Chains A and B, each alone.
Chain A
Amino acid sequence: MKDSELKNIAKEIRIDVLKMLNTAKSGHTAGAMGLADIFAVLYFDIMNHNPLQPDWLARDFLILSNGHVCPVMYATLSLANYFEKDKLFDLRKINSMLQGHPSKNISIGIENSSGSLGQGISYAVGLAASLKRDKKKNKVFTIVGDGELQEGECWEAFLFAAKEQLDNLYVIVDRNFIQIDGNTEDVSSLEKLSKKMASFNFKTIEFDGNNISQIRHAIKESFKIKGRPICLIANTIAGKGVSFMENDFNWHGKAPDDNELKIALNELCLDENGK
């Protein structure tokens, strides 16, 4: 797929994220918007998966660890034909399969429940270790928030991943520097993150997580690495695509109201020249 096509998919994902959060009247906007480009590349260019057979044994796995960004995953899965788009607007409502934080449901492409931070990464290392022992070719991608790395369990998981030399594990860190109480470096500093991960024997690759061609290049390059786990540090902009949301931690756990939605959709639909 061309970069321009993936860019358009990312735009569609962002539009759906904003609309579904507006309908739900609550949820996490900033992280979901920041990850749209990565989800577009993973589901429409990188991963082996089959919406017609979600439990296909040869599929690659996406284990979402920072479950609160799930609107971006739901929007992506819907675009990839795992379920009808109108279901998106049941998000966070009673009797919906789209819970406020993901509830495992393989039939619609949700591999794991998540919401309690730090757990998805452990789920991913366990799965990757088990697949590797069985000499299976499936890849395991896991997306973790940067604030999430303050959970000790993540570092337990990293020790294990290195010990088992999990070169089928791709840890994508959503490095947007925001968390509920403020900037990650003020709350509980993570820098130098790349050095920390390298010291845990990960091969680290850092790139612009909102640049389609850089994302694609970084992930494809990482496939060449053997004998150690891979950490892809994606520098993203929280709230990407909407000026008044970008880099503002107040948008971590807030949904746009009708007026904010209108302004945001207008911005998103302008082309690069502002037209």
Chain B
Amino acid sequence: MKRTPSKTVLVIGGGIAGMEAAARLRQLGLQPILVEKSDHLGGHVADWHKLFPDMSEAAALVEKGAAALDGVDVRLSTEILFVNRLRSLYNVMLSSGSNVQCGAIVVATGFSLFPAEKKEEYGYGIYDHVITNADLEKWFNTGEDPRVTDDVRKVGFVHCVGSRDLKAGNTECSKVCCITAIKQAIEMKEHFPEAEIYCFYMDLRLFGKRYEDYYIKAQRDYGIHFIRGRVSEVGENIEGKVVVKAEDTLSGRPVKVTLDLLVLMAGIIRNPDPLPYDRRGRIPPKQRQSRGHHRI
């Protein structure tokens, strides 16, 4: 296929959003190039097990997205080295050594999960049975994690770990952790039907289509307990169980719960934008080589 620079669109990030964007651009007759820094497509979803609010398979979504990339120039294990502006095009240097000229750039660089060990009081990486939402998805997929034992009877989910937290340096709401916690709580209940499951939340921010139904289902059909209070501290008792302290703010009493497993809903931190904007919010033009002013 002959590439026309003005019709070329560079999509940065091979997660679900980037894949979807590239596929749609192709349908519109443009020539997308999808650049992904890791060696596979799918982003965080590739490591996930099932998706809210319908428990569809994460792998199926990634597969479906990949299948729609027919005609898209996909470049894995590739990063952006620099970008500058030409008269009506962008000039992009890739880590593979190739140079791309394109008419537009789509930034779909996604997010990173908040490093849960930074909320020191929750003891991630210190106490034996404290894991994150991402660890739990991995366990759903592989069944392998020494922190999740076979006889789990009590599980806690801590919402807003590193979200809406001035002290942790991230004041934003991560938007999807509440619904993810509900999904994971339901999945845990399916794995361990005998288990009591507690969600410790500040506010339940369930804005999407069918999310509220999912919440009702978690309460009604799965008996998941929702405690309105942010977890204040986590410890470990002599049996290695997790001891969690929070306030049940609706009854106004401190509560202490001993659990077999604590899942921290690590929040979402936006990844830094890879594009070099100037003060006016534009990508600066390519510097002309100055002549006669070399400093030696």
Q: Do chains A and B stick together as partners?
A: no
